[in-house]
Structure 1
Amino acid sequence: MTFRIMALLALPLAASACSPDAPVKRQAGSWSQKIEIVKFEGKGATPETKTQMQKMFDAMSTMSVCLTPAAAAKEDMGKAMEQMSARGQNCTFAKKDVTGASIAIDATCKQPNGGTVKMMMTGTNSATAQDMTMKTEGFAANGTQEGTMEMHVKSTRNGECKPTDVTPPEAPATGPAPAKP
């Protein structure tokens, strides 16, 4: 179980913290994010690796992302969590409260090697700011804990999109592949 896998499973949840049942949706505009690694322990978790990852997150915090109105309208954390299993991440949720200004998630995802990743996230969500703590714990197939990573993620809307913002491409539509003629 690598820390990269644990981070990759947790970050998309933070990036789309909203729900179809909630009036709370991120407002379109220029968004920045600050990620702090609070805890980094386990197999392969050297101080050098933690420093390298923190430097990567710090570099990312210097960039702002343009959240377009179309992208903001499509954000749906509840749907993103439901689709985790469809994407082969085989996750079950003990807690999935994403229906308002508070967020609380507790999920366990089975890995192809027989291990599991447990993800917990708590925090607050508004149209212009998010403040969350995410914790991931990796376990080997025999149940032995292999590592823990805890991150504090703060996202803030900084006004309208700017020409220097990164604008991600629109996500492709999901569904069956088109039939060949």
Structure 2
Amino acid sequence: MKTMLALATLGAALAIAGCGKTENAGGPVKREAGNWKTDVKLVKFDVPGIPDEMKAGMKQMVEGASGMDQCFTQEQVDKEDIAAELAKGPGNGGECTWTKKDVGGGTIDVAGTCTANGQTVDMAMAGTMAAKKTDVTITTKGAVPAGGEMEMVMQMTSTHTGPCKEGEATTQS
């Protein structure tokens, strides 16, 4: 369960972490430096045989990340390259194989397979990117060790809220 959340979180992080160089003709979309607020919504969480309390706990954990503020400097924004980040996979271990990687022109449409700790999941990310807002849906599907297939769908929306706040730590890139 933790691995699947980590993979979905990876997708989410990639979706909000960069809107840099692209692999399609749409050209790069660079986000604006400054403070970004991210909201997360668990749209779907289906795991065969999981008790309702665990589903509620997962929803609470995922949505607990909502409202997170991050500061990105101009230097960090200038270095962003989502295509390169996608190639690295979870934990920068090169554990993802992407069958579709269209990032640019204001959209992201990525799909592939990721493996971590012996589990393999299919992951897809689709949405929009602009200088002041990203809105991406991350879908993760995979086999459950107890049998059956799980599916988790998260929606992440990040919005530029202005300059970084005084004394605020910047996000590591």
Same fold per superposition (TM over 0.5): yes
Residue 32 of structure 1 corresponds to which residue in structure 2? 37
- The within-5 A match list for 1:54-133 is 54-84=59-89, 87-113=92-118, 115-133=119-137
Given that 1:116 and 1:140 are in contact with CA atoms closer than 8 Å, whether structure 2 keeps it comes out as no
* Structure 1: distance between partners of 2:57 and 2:144: 24
Given that 1:107 and 1:120 are in contact with CA atoms closer than 8 Å, whether structure 2 keeps it comes out as yes
Q: Residue 7 of structure 1: CA displacement?
A: 2.4
TM-score, normalised to structure 2's length? 0.82
The runs of 4+ residues in structure 1 deviating greater than 6 Å are: none
- What's the RMSD between the two structures over aligned residues? 2.6
Q: Which moved more, 1:69-78 or 1:8-17?
A: 8-17
Deviation string, structure 1 residues 66-100 (Cα, Å, up to 9, x no partner):
11111111221100011228933422111100122
Residue 136 of structure 1 corresponds to which residue in structure 2? 140
Distance 1:91 1:70, change over 3 A: same
Distance 1:13 1:20, change over 3 A: same
Distance 1:104 1:167, change over 3 A: same
Residue 148 of structure 1 corresponds to which residue in structure 2? 151
Residue 16 of structure 1 corresponds to which residue in structure 2? 17
Given that 1:32 and 1:158 are in contact with CA atoms closer than 8 Å, whether structure 2 keeps it comes out as yes
Q: Residue 55 of structure 1: CA displacement?
A: 3.1
Q: How many residues align?
A: 167
Higher strand fraction: Structure 1 or Structure 2? Answer: 2
Q: Which amino acid aligns with 2:112?
A: A
Runs of 5+ in structure 1 lacking a partner?
A: 172-181
Deviation string, structure 1 residues 97-149 (Cα, Å, up to 9, x no partner):
01220110111113442x411001110000100011110012258xx644111
Deviation string, structure 1 residues 131-181 (Cα, Å, up to 9, x no partner):
11110012258xx6441110111110011111274522x34xxxxxxxxxx
Given that 1:131 and 1:154 are in contact with CA atoms closer than 8 Å, whether structure 2 keeps it comes out as yes
Q: Which amino acid aligns with 1:10?
A: G
Q: Which has the larger radius of gyration?
A: 1
Q: Which amino acid aligns with 1:150?
A: V
* Structure 2: distance between partners of 1:38 and 1:140: 19
Percentage of identical aligned residues: 35
* Structure 2: distance between partners of 1:85 and 1:38: 22
TM-score, normalised to structure 1's length? 0.78
Secondary structure at the aligned position of 1:98 is classed as: strand
Given that 1:64 and 1:165 are in contact with CA atoms closer than 8 Å, whether structure 2 keeps it comes out as no
Given that 2:30 and 2:130 are in contact with CA atoms closer than 8 Å, whether structure 1 keeps it comes out as yes
Q: Which moved more, 1:76-85 or 1:92-101?
A: 76-85
Q: Which moved more, 1:58-67 or 1:131-140?
A: 58-67
Q: Which amino acid aligns with 1:104?
A: D
* Structure 2: distance between partners of 1:122 and 1:81: 13
